[in-house]
Chain A
Amino acid sequence: MHRLTPFAMPVVLPWTILGLYLAVAILAPYIAPADPLAATGAPLSPLFGSSGILGTDGFGRDVASRLIWGLRPMLAVSFGAVFLATLAGGAYGLVAGGIGGRTDWLMMSVVDVMMSIPLILAAILVMAALGGSVINLIISVGISQIPVFARLARALASVEARKEYVLAARAVGLSRFHVLVREILPNIVRPLLVQAGSVVATAGLTAAALSYLGLGVRPPAPDIGYMVKEGQELIFIAPGQTLLPGLVLGVFALTAALCGETIGQERRR
């Protein structure tokens, strides 16, 4: 059991933390001590003071509540983008690898072109074109991750496509679609999921970087990435303004990566 995570710690720990993040995000309306948009005290009240356990931000809004509500866009973008990328990239790679030949070559050339444009540049361009919102962040971060999944799915599918059971299925006269979806897909889903688990953290960080460049969720809606940026210039005056959201983001990325790791380890067993 101890081999499941690099630490000799129970596999449940990261999953518990991740579950906690999800629960807090879902239950935000019931948990948050105050309205995240309303001023509840003097600006930049200190931690553990009279106005909120984590104090208030530069606009007098409750930091704890903003962190709790801010989990929603962070989780939605991280998981949404990975879901989108897995689905779209996986399907694309499945078709390319499953069909093979010239189609494969052409489709993967397109992926090569996408790969050669830097991720963050692609994300910046897409955000500038679409404008800031959770959905657009999902699209933008998702698109930037598609090539990774497309390559993986294609590699897996092309190996499967040469195996006997596929050749047999085709010899029997089953349609291409049937072979792809019913025969090949079930055999490549698991590695794709492992990959998905490992890029959730990356997606979260990319989204935060976009918020950092001013291309994220529209304020005053609370968003962890934007809180890091907004608080940054206050680091000498009220360090918590940027350290706390940074911590929330960092712990999320770490637990997401550890959870991803456990999916991979189980497979190896």
Chain B
Amino acid sequence: MVGPPRGSAARDRDKTIVFALPDLVGNFEPQTWIGFGDSVHVVDMVARGLTHMDFSDPVPQPAVAESWSLSPDGLTYDFSIRRGLTFHDGTPVDAQAVLRTFNRMIDSTDPTRPDMSFALENLGGANIAGFSVPWPNTFRIILKKPDAALPGRLSRPDMVIISPRTLSEKGRHIGPDLSACGPYRITSVTSNERVVLEAFDGFYAGRPATRRVVMEVIPDPLAQISALASDQLNITNSVPYSNIDRLGRMEGLRFTRPAAFITTALAMNCSARKLADLRVRQAINHGIDREAIIADAFFGKAELPGYITPKSEPGYDPSHMDLSAFDPEKASALLRDAGMMGMELTILSENNGFWMRLGQVVERSLRTIGIRATVDYLDTGTFNARAFSRTGHDACFLQRSAFFPDPDGRFSPLFATGCTVAEHMTAQTGLPDQPALDQAIAAANAEHDPTRRAARYVAMNRFMAERMLPVAAMVNTFMPVVASAGLRGIPVNALGTFRTFLEDVVVDA
């Protein structure tokens, strides 16, 4: 039904690319960002941290740090800072500037520290013993326990280095005025509307090929599709899955399938009486028809999961596929064994995105094995209130994308004792095997050899699935990336998991 692109809006094609944002709050404070989908896209374009991961492999690359070394005891990281860099505002990037950014996370007396700083927690929380500059041009992080994932964590969007001048001038309220040393600098911001970015000559990897990037808010999917078709929009990762194949076939557009870094799971409250029996949780796990979810809810744009770790990260093993296999007979048998045939189960879901389709498939498939499942679709605020309360739910949906492609990105923040998901959503901390899991997570982070570390996560996936099962993996998916056919160098994998690194995108003449 869509005609050929009408070039009416084609302009400056060799200079400008337009990227679609679902929303834009207009506050680019990296250390408190409280949701992706808007500001994180901008932070990714404007700022960079000590390391960078582009989601093509699990190895952190040098960024603001040109190299780093680790002490033999595994507790001290020394990062040597690239020489000659400046921030967008012209101030030099040096170890003192890096220190100032990091001290802002840990020092509660720092007047520039924002009210709701999350960054330290995401870097390791209590495991961070301190930051220092032992000698010029070197920034040091001291840990209490070894953490092999630390260089990866430093590529998170909340670890980016902020210009000291911005901190002095803006203090706790950076708002739209973020000056950093990423590939693009902000030229104008209109909240809820757009951010205009301009290539930064002083970027450490050289000035980006495309001079101007406009990040434009287009919340409605149909408006996005019409904008793509008329060449008013060049890259998006937020059109509905149902339209991807059709858009990909259109002249002038291209869909590239990213690696599936986004996990969707069914979190089960282990402290709820009806779910306390492992067999019931296993029955639910084997009663979810994942093939149907992929076909009906994702229109084929998803894949079967192993367990927690997706295929694209170390720690996945093909043998994991059995852990999340759909097996209705086995599920019914487990349910009968547990004496819970015909049990009722209410699952909480958000009322947006793919959730309402996914919920209908899960409800249908659980009903066929003998669970009278109902999915409650709630607005985000109500969903969060009940999902993060042990008494507010029996089961709920959970989504996790990768901020950096390391297996610990899912284990420590979701399943270790002390984090909100493990304490309140799955309540797995009451399970007898939780101490063993905590130890396994710590041991894996103490392991620096990549092969042996991956093997630990392979075992940990299996251990959690077989002994604990606080969540049932449903499917792994990605944000579908649709772009103008004339663009090259699109970082598909990163865009598929909410990370936006457009510095290598080139517009063909």
Task: Show the binding face of A for B, using Cβ within 8 Å.
Answer: 39, 43, 58-59, 127-128, 131-132, 214-215, 218-220, 230, 232-237, 239
Q: Is the CB of B381 within 8 A of A230?
A: no
Residue of A nearest to B363 (CB): A220
Q: Does B296 contact A (CB under 8 A)?
A: yes
Q: Is the CB of A128 within 8 A of B382?
A: yes
The 9 A-B pairs with the shortest beta carbon distances in the complex, nearest first, are: A214-B351, A233-B240, A128-B379, A220-B360, A236-B1, A233-B242, A59-B296, A233-B221, A219-B360
Q: Which residues of A contact B351 (CB under 8 A)?
A: 132, 214-215
Measured in the bound complex, the distance between the Cα atoms of B365 and A39 in whole Å is 12
Q: Which residues of A contact B360 (CB under 8 A)?
A: 59, 219-220
Contact of A218 with B296 at beta-carbon distance under 8 Å, contacts A59-B360, A232-B222 already known = no
Task: Show the binding face of B for A, using Cβ within 8 Å.
Answer: 1-2, 221-222, 225, 240, 242-243, 246, 295-296, 351-352, 356-357, 359-361, 363-364, 374-379, 381-382
Residue of B nearest to A238 (CB): B242
Q: Is the CB of B364 within 8 A of A132?
A: no
Measured in the bound complex, the distance between the Cα atoms of B243 and A126 in whole Å is 33
Contact of A131 with B376 at beta-carbon distance under 8 Å, contacts A220-B363, A233-B242, A234-B242 already known = yes
* Minimum Cβ distance to chain A for residue B300 (Å): 11
Q: Which residues of B contact A215 (CB under 8 A)?
A: 351, 379
Apart from A128-B382, A237-B243, 4 more pairs, CB < 8 Å: A43-B295, A43-B296, A214-B352, A219-B360
Q: Which residues of A contact B359 (CB under 8 A)?
A: 219
Q: Which residues of A contact B357 (CB under 8 A)?
A: 58, 230
Measured in the bound complex, the distance between the Cα atoms of B374 and A128 in whole Å is 19
Residue of A nearest to B296 (CB): A59
Q: Is the CB of B361 within 8 A of A132?
A: no
Q: Which residues of B contact A128 (CB under 8 A)?
A: 379, 381-382
What would 27 A/B residue contacts be, using CB atoms closer than 8 Å? Answer: A43-B296, A58-B296, A58-B357, A59-B296, A59-B360, A59-B364, A128-B379, A128-B382, A131-B382, A132-B351, A214-B351, A214-B352, A214-B377, A215-B351, A219-B360, A219-B375, A219-B377, A230-B356, A232-B222, A233-B240, A233-B242, A234-B242, A236-B1, A236-B2, A236-B243, A237-B243, A237-B246
Q: Which of B352, B361, B379 contacts A59 (CB 8 A)?
A: B361
Q: Which residues of B contact A233 (CB under 8 A)?
A: 221-222, 240, 242-243
Say whether chain A's binding surface is mostly helix, strand, loop, or mixed: loop
Measured in the bound complex, the distance between the Cα atoms of B375 and A236 in whole Å is 29
Q: Which residues of B contact A236 (CB under 8 A)?
A: 1-2, 225, 243, 246
Q: Which residues of B contact A59 (CB under 8 A)?
A: 296, 360-361, 364
Measured in the bound complex, the distance between the Cα atoms of B222 and A220 in whole Å is 24
Residue of A nearest to B381 (CB): A128
Q: Which residues of B contact A232 (CB under 8 A)?
A: 222
Q: Which residues of B contact A239 (CB under 8 A)?
A: 1
Residue of B nearest to A38 (CB): B364
Measured in the bound complex, the distance between the Cα atoms of B352 and A127 in whole Å is 15
Residue of B nearest to A217 (CB): B377
Measured in the bound complex, the distance between the Cα atoms of B248 and A237 in whole Å is 13
Q: Which residues of A contact B295 (CB under 8 A)?
A: 43
Measured in the bound complex, the distance between the Cα atoms of B225 and A233 in whole Å is 10
Residue of A nearest to B361 (CB): A59
Q: Which residues of A contact B243 (CB under 8 A)?
A: 233, 236-237
Residue of B nearest to A236 (CB): B1
Q: Which residues of A contact B379 (CB under 8 A)?
A: 127-128, 214-215
Q: Which residues of B contact A218 (CB under 8 A)?
A: 374-377
Contact of A214 with B356 at beta-carbon distance under 8 Å, contacts A234-B242, A235-B222, A236-B246 already known = yes
Measured in the bound complex, the distance between the Cα atoms of B246 and A73 in whole Å is 34
Q: Which residues of B contact A235 (CB under 8 A)?
A: 1, 222
Measured in the bound complex, the distance between the Cα atoms of B374 and A219 in whole Å is 9
Measured in the bound complex, the distance between the Cα atoms of B295 and A58 in whole Å is 9
* Minimum Cβ distance to chain B for residue A203 (Å): 21
Measured in the bound complex, the distance between the Cα atoms of B376 and A220 in whole Å is 11
* Minimum Cβ distance to chain A for residue B250 (Å): 10
Q: Which residues of A contact B381 (CB under 8 A)?
A: 128
Q: Which residues of A contact B242 (CB under 8 A)?
A: 58, 233-234, 237
Measured in the bound complex, the distance between the Cα atoms of B296 and A59 in whole Å is 6
Q: Is the CB of A219 within 8 A of B356?
A: yes
* Minimum Cβ distance to chain A for residue B235 (Å): 19
Q: Which residues of A contact B364 (CB under 8 A)?
A: 39, 59, 220
Residue of B nearest to A39 (CB): B364
Q: Which residues of B contact A220 (CB under 8 A)?
A: 360, 363-364
Q: Which residues of B contact A39 (CB under 8 A)?
A: 364
Residue of A nearest to B239 (CB): A233
* Minimum Cβ distance to chain B for residue A122 (Å): 15
Measured in the bound complex, the distance between the Cα atoms of B375 and A219 in whole Å is 8
* Minimum Cβ distance to chain A for residue B121 (Å): 29
* Minimum Cβ distance to chain A for residue B439 (Å): 41
* Minimum Cβ distance to chain A for residue B354 (Å): 10
Measured in the bound complex, the distance between the Cα atoms of B376 and A219 in whole Å is 9
Measured in the bound complex, the distance between the Cα atoms of B106 and A261 in whole Å is 68
* Minimum Cβ distance to chain A for residue B21 (Å): 19
Q: Which residues of B contact A131 (CB under 8 A)?
A: 376, 378, 382
Measured in the bound complex, the distance between the Cα atoms of B246 and A236 in whole Å is 8
Measured in the bound complex, the distance between the Cα atoms of B239 and A232 in whole Å is 13
Residue of A nearest to B356 (CB): A219
Measured in the bound complex, the distance between the Cα atoms of B242 and A58 in whole Å is 10
Most buried by A among B242, B295, B352, B357: B242
Q: Which residues of B contact A214 (CB under 8 A)?
A: 351-352, 356, 377, 379
Measured in the bound complex, the distance between the Cα atoms of B266 and A172 in whole Å is 71
Residue of A nearest to B374 (CB): A218
Residue of A nearest to B353 (CB): A214
Q: Which residues of A contact B374 (CB under 8 A)?
A: 218
Measured in the bound complex, the distance between the Cα atoms of B246 and A132 in whole Å is 33
* Minimum Cβ distance to chain B for residue A239 (Å): 8
* Minimum Cβ distance to chain B for residue A120 (Å): 14
Q: Which residues of A contact B221 (CB under 8 A)?
A: 233
Q: Which residues of B contact A132 (CB under 8 A)?
A: 351, 377
